[in-house]
Amino acid sequence: MSHTVRDGRERGGRRGGAAAVVLVAGVLAGCGAGVADAGETPDLVLTSPDLDDAGTLPAWATGVYGTTCAGDNRSPALAWDGVPDGTRSFVVTFTDPAHPSYVHWVVTGIDPSATGLDSADDGMVDGGIVGDSFRGTGSYGGPCVEGNQYVYTVYALDEEISGTARTTLGDVLVQMDGHILDQAELEVLRAAS
């Protein structure tokens, strides 16, 4: 069963509490450009077939951090729908709002025809460029803190945005400024041990 969270702009509740998302708002507001004017667009929706009804990731999606967490560090499959007209690329991020310095995943250069990302060992997905995370250059870090809420976000952009293995969340936020047609969040929990 897939777990769905609709467009973050409609929900409104997550933005105020998440420092990484607050950073997005600050960067976009600071430049005065904000979200690109897209007119009437469908609502972008992000889902994952790998989540249970409570939004919990499977145990294999847990990161590997010594004896604290010993999953497979595999990213879940993600799917999106309701892509706005004029989308020229996607960016996907995975963040920990309670611990904003722990950016778990940044993926740029996702083709505009993509409808999602397949599950992948160490988050090394086909069809995108994995950037910098708290684990280092070109890496993915699965969740570890039990009961903590994590957020996957997909951004539909009106410009081709592609980074490198060294691209950070901060870098991509600057690149996306004024080019976000729509975005959707998927809140997830780490599986209990």
pLDDT in tens, 72-122: 999 999 999 999 999 999 999 999 999 999 999 999 999 999 999 999 999
Average pLDDT, the chain: 82
**pLDDT at residue 33 is higher than 50:** no
CA within 13 Å, CB half, 3? 18
Asked if 3 and 151 count as a contact pair (C-beta separation under 8 A), the reply is no
**Secondary element (H or E) of residue 26:** helix 19-30
For Cα atoms 24, 28, 31, give the angle at the middle one, nearest 5 degrees: 145
**pLDDT at residue 20 is higher than 90:** no
Question: What pLDDT, on a 0 to 100 scale, did the predictor assign at position 22?
Answer: 35
What confidence category does residue 39 fall into, taking pLDDT thresholds of 50, 70 and 90? low
**pLDDT at residue 188 is higher than 90:** yes
**pLDDT at residue 167 is higher than 70:** yes
Please enumerate in sequence order all residues whose Cβ is within 8 A of that of 130, keeping only pairs 6 or more positions apart, or say none. Answer: 105, 106, 107, 123, 124, 138, 139, 140, 165
Residues 151-166 have a mean pLDDT of 96
- Return the minimum-mean-pLDDT range out of 47-56, 118-127, 139-148, 166-175: 139-148
Q: How many Å apart are CA 169 and CA 105, to the nearest integer?
A: 8
Q: What are the residue ranges spanned by the domains of the chain?
A: 3-189
Please enumerate in sequence order all residues whose Cβ is within 8 A of that of 45, keeping only pairs 6 or more positions apart, or say none. Answer: 4, 6, 7, 80, 81, 82, 184
Q: How many Å apart are CA 106 and CA 65, to the nearest integer?
A: 19
Q: How many Å apart are CA 138 and CA 115, to the nearest integer?
A: 22
**pLDDT at residue 18 is higher than 80:** no
Q: Which CATH architecture best describes the domain 3-189?
A: Alpha-Beta Complex (3.90)
- Of the chain, the percentage scoring pLDDT greater than 90 comes to 65
Q: How many Å apart are CA 83 and CA 81, to the nearest integer?
A: 6
Full-model pTM: 0.79
